[in-house]
Structure 1
Amino acid sequence: MYRERPAGVAGATVWTSTAPDRPAPTRVLPDGCLDLLWSSRAGLLVAGPDRTAFLSTSAPGERWVGLRLPPGVGPAVLGVPAVELRDQRVPLGALWGDRAVAALADRAGSDAEAVLVEVVAGRLRDAGGPDPLGARVAAALAAGATVGATAAEVGLDPRALLRRSRHLFGYGPKTLARILRLRRALALARSGVPLAEVAARTGYADQAHLTRDTRALTGLPPTPLLPPPSPP
């Protein structure tokens, strides 16, 4: 019951989900993103950037619509540093005021996706767009660049990069690099690449290193995070 597609604004992804009659907790893996959410039960929320997997629970039949903002975009939309939202799920009213959010929540009940896209587009327009540093840093780290090389590429010393990264992503560049490397590794593994080869291609010392880092960030080793093998 989960679907996602490009949102058409700021490189964001819109996703929808409806919980079954007997929902089980969903393991949400860290990805460096912030999400603007609407829940049929809880209203408008913000999901901050996670350092480890978050176990999300839903009520039976609860409907969700989310707009996942790429790394570094969230602060321009929400008006607060990402580090203030790290590892948290916060009502949007706590950031913008309950009165301002109440009208949005009423409209979201009939078309949450359109409301979220409209809000994000308007907030980014008012802010002059996201900080371009976020996209540059995230792209370099996602491509496997070291933190030192990334700092040099964007013209910052390591302390300045750490400070700006905490504002944009919610954590420092080393943590973001680990999270983005894990996502590259899982994408390869889900495409059928053996784990030993995945480790070698994504910069881990060996498969054991990949397993340790996956467990540290998600609570599980790699194999349970992969789709089951196809029947013969």
Structure 2
Amino acid sequence: MYTERVSSLVEATVWTNAPAGTGLGRVLPDGCMDLLWSEGRLSVAGPDTRAYVPDGPPVPWAGVRFPPGVAPALLGVPAHELRDRRVDLAELRPATQVRRLRALVEAASDPMSGLEAAAARLAATAERPDPLLRRLVAALAAGRPVAATADELGLGARTLHRRSLAAFGYGPKTLARVLRLQRALALARAGLPYAQTAARAGFADQAHLARDVKELTGLPLGRLLGR
């Protein structure tokens, strides 16, 4: 069973997932990065450009999901170094710090609250995310074109691409594509017909929607939604 809540300590969503069956969950690209806890191990999920399907039998997980552009400052590593990767936190942070964070999670009443406290400790000494890139994310999430948004922010194409790689793990066009996918899935899950979903989410047509969903998630839209 999957549950989530908005964190009261950090800019993030805290979640837990205890698989009830034998199937493996498919994690879809959403522009986010996660601090993860499972079986006594702290790890980080980098930004995905394609669906991630875990290996091995399903196990319980807890996580703190940071919005696009937030996690790199906490971890002290550019997002593009973690693109499409899952790595131990010990590869990114000093071993002594990781031991303290692991002890914090283990001492908590539940993994969600412990992991949330660990994320807050990381955030306490981290730099604030770039406010310009926050505006970029908001504009792209609303469906604004990349070029127009860059002009509004006063950023050249090369500068925007370089800063996007560090903050999001990929360029602004890929981020826009991932956020468009999430808009489309939200509309389709709400029951909107596919043709209307495509138009409202910003796709050229329904065929464009179908291609993007298959390329980013690995499944046709109908199968992805369980129809």
Partner of 1:65: 62
Are residue 78 (structure 1) and residue 91 (structure 2) matched? no
Structure 2 Cα separation of the partners of residues 64 and 141 of structure 1? 30
Instruction: For 1:1-232, list aligned pairs within 5 A.
Output: 1-20=1-20, 23-40=22-39, 43-57=41-55, 59=57, 62-111=59-108, 112-228=111-227
- Tell which deviates more after alignment, 5-14 or 144-153: 5-14
Structure 1 Cα separation of the partners of residues 67 and 8 of structure 2? 12
Give aligned-pair identity as a percent. Answer: 54
- Tell which deviates more after alignment, 210-219 or 148-157: 148-157
Contact kept? 1:26, 1:57, Cα under 8 Å: no
Contact kept? 1:23, 1:57, Cα under 8 Å: no
Structure 1 Cα separation of the partners of residues 103 and 57 of structure 2? 20
Q: CA-to-partner distance for each residue in 1:47-90, whole Å, 9 max, x for gaps?
A: 00000000024545x32110000001011111111001100000
Pairwise CA RMSD: 1.6
Q: TM-score of the superposition, structure 2-length normalised?
A: 0.93
Return closer, same or farther for 1:11/1:58 CA change in 2, 3 Å cut-off.
farther
Q: CA-to-partner distance for each residue in 1:104-125, whole Å, 9 max, x for gaps?
A: 2233134332332223223333
Structure 2 Cα separation of the partners of residues 196 and 87 of structure 1? 30
**Structure 1 residue runs without a partner (length 5+):** none
Q: State the SS of the aligned residue for 1:23.
A: coil
Count of aligned pairs between the two proteins: 225
The Cα shift of 1:23 comes to 2.5
> Which ranges of 4 or more aligned residues in structure 1 deviate by more than 6 Å?
none
Structure 2 Cα separation of the partners of residues 95 and 70 of structure 1? 19
**Structure 2 residue runs without a partner (length 5+):** none
